[in-house]
Amino acid sequence: MTEHPGAITMKGNPLTLLGNLPEVGQAAPDFEVLDNNLTPVKLSSFKGKICIIASVPSLDTPICDIETRRFNTEAAQLSPDTVILTISMDLPFAQKRWCGAAGIDKVITLSDHRNAEFGAAFGMIIKELRLLARAVFVIDRSGIVRLAQLVKEVAQEPDYGAALSVVKQLA
């Protein structure tokens, strides 16, 4: 797997990403992750929908918490054929507990902990931590990447406006 030393930082400290980010205009690579009930879910199962994929290190951290809550709120203004998937290495049990405590009911949380298929396919694995980097992807109804936004500093929030603008253009 290709290594990208210093591709991102965490509180200023450089970290290495494994794999390659999919490029805008190319088909999004398929992957399998687990939902909160340990059921396998593939990206291809959302074909025909607009997908926002939020890659986060852990829901139990402040920025990931803020980001997921923000996307949950924004979901109400999006077309009904838009889904928001938040993917982390957190265990499905922890994701389910966190969603219940946070009142998250519109974002689908998915776990990449078992095989890191999403992380490998989207170039999101932080080598030093085996966590996912922070990024936002928008995938159109045909499975084409329309936005690939890697957040260079893990401790910062993504550009929500950029992602929501792309989604609204696709709706």
pLDDT tens digits, residue range 80-98? 999 999 999 999 999 999 9
Q: Where are the domains of the chain?
A: 3-170
The pLDDT score that the predictor gives to residue 33 is 98
**Extended strands (E) in 36-81:** 40-42, 50-55
Q: Classify 40 as helix, strand or coil.
A: strand
Provide CB contacts within 8 A for 79, sequence distance 6+.
50, 171
The pLDDT score that the predictor gives to residue 118 is 98
Provide CB contacts within 8 A for 68, sequence distance 6+.
54, 56, 59, 86, 102, 104, 107, 109
Are the beta carbons of 151 and 135 closer than 8 angstroms? yes
Q: pLDDT, tens digit, for every residue of 95-150?
A: 999 999 999 999 999 999 999 999 999 999 999 999 999 999 999 999 999 999 99
pLDDT bracket for residue 1 (50, 70, 90): confident
Give the whole-angstrom CA distance, residue 87 versus residue 64: 10
Catalytic residue among 28, 54, 64, 78: 64
CATH tag for 3-170 (out of 3.30.360.10, 3.20.20.70, 3.40.30.10, 3.40.718.10): 3.40.30.10
The pLDDT score that the predictor gives to residue 109 is 97
Full DSSP string of 75-91: GGGS-TTEEEEEEESS-
76 against 140, higher pLDDT: 140
pLDDT at 160 over 90: yes
For the segment 144-158, the average pLDDT, to the nearest whole number, is: 97
The pLDDT score that the predictor gives to residue 148 is 98
Q: Is 64 a catalytic residue?
A: yes
pLDDT at 171 over 90: no
The pLDDT score that the predictor gives to residue 106 is 95
Q: Alpha carbon of 144 to those of 24, 71, 72, 115, 163: distances in Å?
A: 8, 21, 23, 23, 14
Q: pLDDT, tens digit, for every residue of 25-62?
A: 999 999 999 999 999 999 999 999 999 999 999 999 99
Full DSSP string of 93-162: HHHHHHHHHHT--SEEEEE-TTT-HHHHHHT-EETTTTEEPPEEEEE-TTSBEEEEEE-SBTTS---HHH
The pLDDT score that the predictor gives to residue 155 is 95
What is the pTM for the complete model shown?
Answer: 0.96
For the segment 64-81, the average pLDDT, to the nearest whole number, is: 94
